[in-house]
Chain A
Amino acid sequence: MSDPTPAEMTVSQPRRSIWRNLSVVWLVPIIALAVSLGIAWQNFADRGTLIEISFSNASGVVAGETTLRYRDVVVGTVEDVRFSDDLGRVLVDVRVDNEVAGFIDDEAMFWVVRPEVSARGISGLSTVLSGVYIEGAWDNAPGAVAQQFLGSETPPLNQPGRPGRRITLATDDGTTISYGSPVLFRGVEVGRMETPRLSADGRTVLVDAFIDAPHDARLNQATRFWDTSGFELSFGASGFSVDFDSLASLVTGGVSFDNVYENGEPLPSGYVFTLFEDESAARRNTLVRGPAQGVPFTIQFTESVEGLGPGDDVTYQGLEVGVVTDLRSRVVETQLGPELSLLAQISIDPQRMGLPTDATPADTVDFFRFAVDSGLRARLATESLLNSDLKIELVVLDSAPSARLREIEGEPPRLPSVESNLSDFTATAEGVLERINALPVEEVMQQAISLMQAFEQLARNEDLQRVPGSAVALLDDTRALVGSEAIQAIPAQIEAAVTDLTALVADLREGGAIAALNSAMRNLDRAMADVSIASQNAPALTENLRKLTESDIPALIAEFEAVATTAKELELQGLVDSATSTLNRVDALVGSQDTLELPGTLNDALTEMRLALAELREGGVVENLNATLQSASDAAGSVAESVEDLPQLTARLERLVAETETVVRSYGDRSDFNTQTLAALREVQNAAKAISELARAIERSPNSLIFGR
């Protein structure tokens, strides 16, 4: 048995080569290192671009937390907040994603979004909890990357990349406009206003506004802006109305715009719009007032230009073609020594004069040179009847003294002017009214009344009243006795007389006394001198008439009576002759030329008065109508006073007619005489009624006398 020998131990030399001996496990740290380095490099590469934004204060901006957003997407983070070297500004370093960094060029704008509560609403509410963030705006075209930016305190109105147009408005008063006020177009908000600022000379307030696309395409030189701030109370015929555009514009102010005419010219750069007070002012101003558009002229006036001022219109045949830009006095050397004259500078819009849009100022001057040669003159005219504002009127006068467009070196061409007839108009109108005032209207009325009284007395006259009784008795007595043709002819004679009377009354009416009085009262007139004379004639005439009736008629009646009482004894033929002659005399009295002429004369006078009035009205423009109206009112007062007598007159007339009627009725019921007389009296009654109506009308509105109805 042999001892078991231990097995041969296999001993191998340790492998010394480090590479051969290398374990695969080493791959793990190598991969870990690679991955770590990879992540680190990627992080470094993705780190973004550092930009620096300076703000006046950095309220709420925290390094490492505050984000930079573009269209509300986070595109960067604030890395550091520090001061500028002089501590004047706060510099905020923002690490911006490389994705967008290429777009942040010089035009980029930055502002801090904070919660804001205003009349227009609440904005930035999300920042209440999350803290403020910086909002950036830039266009979508890559540009040269800038590093330093100036942050604005408020969101800019014209953010880069936002389509639209920035415009400037000029106004006198900036109180109604505040930052963010809306710009409305037909009530739709199309833009925003910025904070008003003063112009360099401090005279006007300038406001920038931003109009969003596509509404900015509506802007041109025909665009007018007006203030819609606050509300407007109006109280008129249509009632009480309160007007305001929107609640926001009520609180923060706002402006509206519209184009006042079609095809406005495109806006030149640096164009400043005028902000008008209200829409009507804006629409009134259709004229382009930009110095670039108007062609300047001067006009020299020798008369007073009180009431004319810069901004007043220059019209051609009533169309607004220009504006007065300046007014100054100027010493002109004449042979008699220096003389002061007034020089008005105007600006004419060639297009309003009908010249083509591309007409140069030289073309316009050419046109005016020609126009002046053919009689174009400038003169002063009143703007309206109710005030003393003047405007300059360009008129073509055939009879104008020849003149030329004076072209003086270094000065705008000078248009020749003619004397206006303003002062003449005023004087004439005043004179006319004074003369109306002085008319003896009351006197005429008094005369008319006394005439009527005379008629009444006549009608009441006992003798006259007795006439029917006597006449009837006479006729009854004679009826049986008288069968002769001569007697038969008496009624015909009487009828003729009555016809004459009727004709007289008809003349009175148809002759237009009443109608003429009516129209005359509506249209006062200048040829009052004639009226005066006519009126002065009238009293005399009526006086004559009265004398005539007072003296002749009773005598006539007496004679008539005598005839009647003696009829029985008298020869029939004698009676007839006597009666006939009596009636002839009545006829003659009634048909008297004087009586017939009275209406005609009055009528003529009134017609002239009316014509004169018409002329006055056509004469048109009166400078001091206020004073004139005062005179007119006085005159109307006088007329009204006189007219107060009219009802009395009418009443008397009616009474007279009624009495006459009773008298006449006693003549017998069915005779032609009665019928005719009654018809005649009814005519008189109608006339009386017409006068009465007129009187009432005048009493109600005495002014209608002046203005016509």
Chain B
Amino acid sequence: MSGDGMANAERAQPVLTARAAGLVGCAECGHVHPLGTQTCTVCGSRLVSRDMASLQRVWAWLFAGMVVYIPANVYPMLRTSTFGKTSESTIVGGVFELMEHGSYGVAFIVFFASVVIPVSKFIAIAYLAWRVQRGKPGTASHFHMYEVVEFIGRWSMIDVFVVAILSALVQLDFVATIHPGIAAVSFALSVAFTMISANSFDPRLIWDAPEGQKV
């Protein structure tokens, strides 16, 4: 999304939101009720037009995810023992090692899944939450951004899967053994926290303009 796009979006005609139309949608089943309805008449879940507390949860989970992302990068992801020789590799170290061996493709995938995606997610979630906090009305592209973040979140687990599978398979005693490091746990937690963070976000907030602006 380009700056121009964002600028255009802000200048564009504001969309009519359900809230502006005096309605509230059920987050579970999608049934629309008039504002003020407490519970969904269809599925019985609680109806909230805008969940303002969600933003706190987003920030909390995002922060937790970022905290555990640090050890995930500092500590070794894999401990490989080959012929009695033990080597430990961190995520970034592993990427460079792969590049030294000429496996640029694999290096790129690892780098993309382990570094680019998590970091982009942090940035995207923080950006969206920041916008909502500042009361800036969002556009369709912001909503797309949120959808992409939510979708791609699970794929960040590729690394963790790889480590889990390698640790389970490569137990060849003296010849080669692979053990997961602390970073593997940290990374898994980081991805999980980020996903919870993304899930906590109420996308409807994107559309809202601050009360003052609306009047």
Shortest CB distance A130–B (Å): 3
| B186 CB contacts on chain A under 8 angstroms | 36
Shortest CB distance B71–A (Å): 5
From known contacts A25-B57, A129-B83, A131-B85, infer whether A39 and B182 are also in contact, taking CB-CB under 8 Å: yes
The stretch among B11-19, B59-67, B161-169 that forms the contact with chain A is: B59-67
A10 touches B71 (CB 8 A): no
B56 touches A32 (CB 8 A): no
Q: Which of A9, A23, A130 contacts B57 (CB 8 A)?
A: A23
Using an 8 Å CB-CB cutoff, how does the interface string of B10-44 with A read, 1 for contact, 0 for none?
00000000000000000000000011100000000
With A10-B36, A31-B64, A36-B67 known, 14 other A-B pairs at CB within 8 A are: A22-B56, A23-B56, A23-B57, A25-B57, A28-B193, A29-B61, A29-B64, A29-B67, A32-B64, A39-B71, A65-B85, A65-B86, A129-B83, A130-B84
Compute how far the CA of A36 lies from the CA of B86 in the bound complex, rounded to whole angstroms. 25
B67 touches A33 (CB 8 A): yes
Using an 8 Å CB-CB cutoff, how does the interface string of B50-78 with A read, 1 for contact, 0 for none?
00110011001101100110110001000
| B75 CB contacts on chain A under 8 angstroms | 39
What is the interface residue range for chain B against chain A? 20 to 34
Compute how far the CA of A40 lies from the CA of B70 in the bound complex, rounded to whole angstroms. 11
Interface residues of A in 1-33 (CB under 8 A from B): 6-7, 9-10, 14, 21-23, 25-26, 28-29, 31-33
14 A-B residue pairs with Cβ-Cβ distance under 8 Å, sorted by A, are: A9-B35, A23-B53, A25-B57, A28-B64, A29-B64, A29-B67, A33-B64, A33-B67, A36-B67, A36-B71, A40-B71, A65-B85, A65-B86, A129-B84
Which residue of B is nearest A28, CB measured? Answer: B64
From known contacts A7-B36, A36-B67, A65-B85, infer whether A25 and B61 are also in contact, taking CB-CB under 8 Å: yes
> Number of residues in A with C-beta < 8 Å to the partner?
24
B83 touches A36 (CB 8 A): no
Compute how far the CA of A10 lies from the CA of B68 in the bound complex, rounded to whole angstroms. 41
Whether B87 is near chain A, meaning CB under 8 Å from some CB there, is: yes
From known contacts A36-B67, A39-B71, infer whether A21 and B56 are also in contact, taking CB-CB under 8 Å: yes
Which residue of A is nearest B56, CB measured? Answer: A23
Shortest CB distance B156–A (Å): 17
Whether B188 is near chain A, meaning CB under 8 Å from some CB there, is: no
B52 touches A14 (CB 8 A): yes
Whether B189 is near chain A, meaning CB under 8 Å from some CB there, is: yes
| B189 CB contacts on chain A under 8 angstroms | 32
| B85 CB contacts on chain A under 8 angstroms | 65, 129-131
Q: Which of B36, B56, B87, B200 contacts A26 (CB 8 A)?
A: B56
Whether A56 is near chain B, meaning CB under 8 Å from some CB there, is: no
Whether A123 is near chain B, meaning CB under 8 Å from some CB there, is: no
A29 touches B60 (CB 8 A): yes
Which residue of A is nearest B58, CB measured? Answer: A25
Shortest CB distance B173–A (Å): 13
B63 touches A29 (CB 8 A): yes
Shortest CB distance B87–A (Å): 7
A-B contact number at CB 8 A: 59
Compute how far the CA of A7 lies from the CA of B193 in the bound complex, rounded to whole angstroms. 40
Shortest CB distance A9–B (Å): 6
Compute how far the CA of A25 lies from the CA of B189 in the bound complex, rounded to whole angstroms. 15
* Residue of B67, B68, B83, B193 most packed against chain A (CB within 10 A): B67
Whether A126 is near chain B, meaning CB under 8 Å from some CB there, is: yes
Compute how far the CA of A31 lies from the CA of B63 in the bound complex, rounded to whole angstroms. 11
B68 touches A36 (CB 8 A): yes
Using an 8 Å CB-CB cutoff, how does the interface string of A31-70 with B read, 1 for contact, 0 for none?
1110110011000000000000000000000000100000
Interface residues of A in 84-133 (CB under 8 A from B): 126, 129-131
Using an 8 Å CB-CB cutoff, how does the interface string of B86-102 with A read, 1 for contact, 0 for none?
11000000000000000
Q: Which of B53, B84, B86 contacts A126 (CB 8 A)?
A: B84
Which residue of A is nearest B190, CB measured? Answer: A32
| B53 CB contacts on chain A under 8 angstroms | 21, 23
A65 touches B67 (CB 8 A): no
Compute how far the CA of A7 lies from the CA of B36 in the bound complex, rounded to whole angstroms. 8
| A129 CB contacts on chain B under 8 angstroms | 83-85
| A130 CB contacts on chain B under 8 angstroms | 83-85
Which residue of A is nearest B74, CB measured? Answer: A40
Compute how far the CA of A23 lies from the CA of B61 in the bound complex, rounded to whole angstroms. 11
Q: Which of A6, A25, A35, A126 contacts B60 (CB 8 A)?
A: A25
| A32 CB contacts on chain B under 8 angstroms | 64, 67-68, 189, 193
Compute how far the CA of A130 lies from the CA of B52 in the bound complex, rounded to whole angstroms. 59
| A40 CB contacts on chain B under 8 angstroms | 71
Interface residues of A in 659-692 (CB under 8 A from B): none
Shortest CB distance B88–A (Å): 9
| A28 CB contacts on chain B under 8 angstroms | 60-61, 64, 193
Compute how far the CA of A40 lies from the CA of B72 in the bound complex, rounded to whole angstroms. 12
Shortest CB distance A277–B (Å): 47
From known contacts A9-B35, A65-B87, infer whether A25 and B56 are also in contact, taking CB-CB under 8 Å: yes
* Residue of A9, A32, A33, A39 most packed against chain B (CB within 10 A): A32
Which residue of B is nearest A31, CB measured? Answer: B64
Nearest 4 interchain pairs by C-beta = A130-B84, A29-B64, A29-B63, A25-B60
Using an 8 Å CB-CB cutoff, how does the interface string of B173-195 with A read, 1 for contact, 0 for none?
00000000010001001000100
Which residue of A is nearest B66, CB measured? Answer: A29
* Residue of A9, A21, A23, A25 most packed against chain B (CB within 10 A): A25
Compute how far the CA of A14 lies from the CA of B200 in the bound complex, rounded to whole angstroms. 20
Compute how far the CA of A85 lies from the CA of B15 in the bound complex, rounded to whole angstroms. 73
Compute how far the CA of A129 lies from the CA of B67 in the bound complex, rounded to whole angstroms. 40
Compute how far the CA of A31 lies from the CA of B64 in the bound complex, rounded to whole angstroms. 8
| B61 CB contacts on chain A under 8 angstroms | 25, 28-29
Compute how far the CA of A412 lies from the CA of B24 in the bound complex, rounded to whole angstroms. 125
Which residue of B is nearest A126, CB measured? Answer: B84
| B36 CB contacts on chain A under 8 angstroms | 6-7, 9-10
Shortest CB distance B195–A (Å): 13
Which residue of B is nearest A23, CB measured? Answer: B56
| A22 CB contacts on chain B under 8 angstroms | 56
| A23 CB contacts on chain B under 8 angstroms | 53, 56-57, 60
| B71 CB contacts on chain A under 8 angstroms | 36, 39-40
Compute how far the CA of A33 lies from the CA of B64 in the bound complex, rounded to whole angstroms. 7
Shortest CB distance A39–B (Å): 6
Shortest CB distance B102–A (Å): 22
Shortest CB distance A52–B (Å): 23
| A26 CB contacts on chain B under 8 angstroms | 56, 60
Using an 8 Å CB-CB cutoff, how does the interface string of A382-412 with B read, 1 for contact, 0 for none?
0000000000000000000000000000000
| A6 CB contacts on chain B under 8 angstroms | 34, 36
| A31 CB contacts on chain B under 8 angstroms | 64
Shortest CB distance A361–B (Å): 63
Compute how far the CA of A528 lies from the CA of B186 in the bound complex, rounded to whole angstroms. 119
Interface residues of B in 183-215 (CB under 8 A from A): 186, 189, 193, 200
Compute how far the CA of A10 lies from the CA of B48 in the bound complex, rounded to whole angstroms. 13
Compute how far the CA of A7 lies from the CA of B34 in the bound complex, rounded to whole angstroms. 10
| A39 CB contacts on chain B under 8 angstroms | 71, 75, 182
Shortest CB distance A22–B (Å): 7
Compute how far the CA of A423 lies from the CA of B74 in the bound complex, rounded to whole angstroms. 98
Which residue of B is nearest A67, CB measured? Answer: B86
| B200 CB contacts on chain A under 8 angstroms | 25
* Residue of A9, A36, A65, A130 most packed against chain B (CB within 10 A): A36
Compute how far the CA of A578 lies from the CA of B36 in the bound complex, rounded to whole angstroms. 199
Using an 8 Å CB-CB cutoff, how does the interface string of A460-503 with B read, 1 for contact, 0 for none?
00000000000000000000000000000000000000000000
Compute how far the CA of A31 lies from the CA of B75 in the bound complex, rounded to whole angstroms. 19
| A14 CB contacts on chain B under 8 angstroms | 52
Shortest CB distance B212–A (Å): 13
Which residue of A is nearest B53, CB measured? Answer: A23
Compute how far the CA of A32 lies from the CA of B196 in the bound complex, rounded to whole angstroms. 14
Shortest CB distance B39–A (Å): 14
| B86 CB contacts on chain A under 8 angstroms | 65
Shortest CB distance A55–B (Å): 20
Compute how far the CA of A39 lies from the CA of B67 in the bound complex, rounded to whole angstroms. 12
Shortest CB distance B57–A (Å): 5
Which residue of B is nearest A11, CB measured? Answer: B36
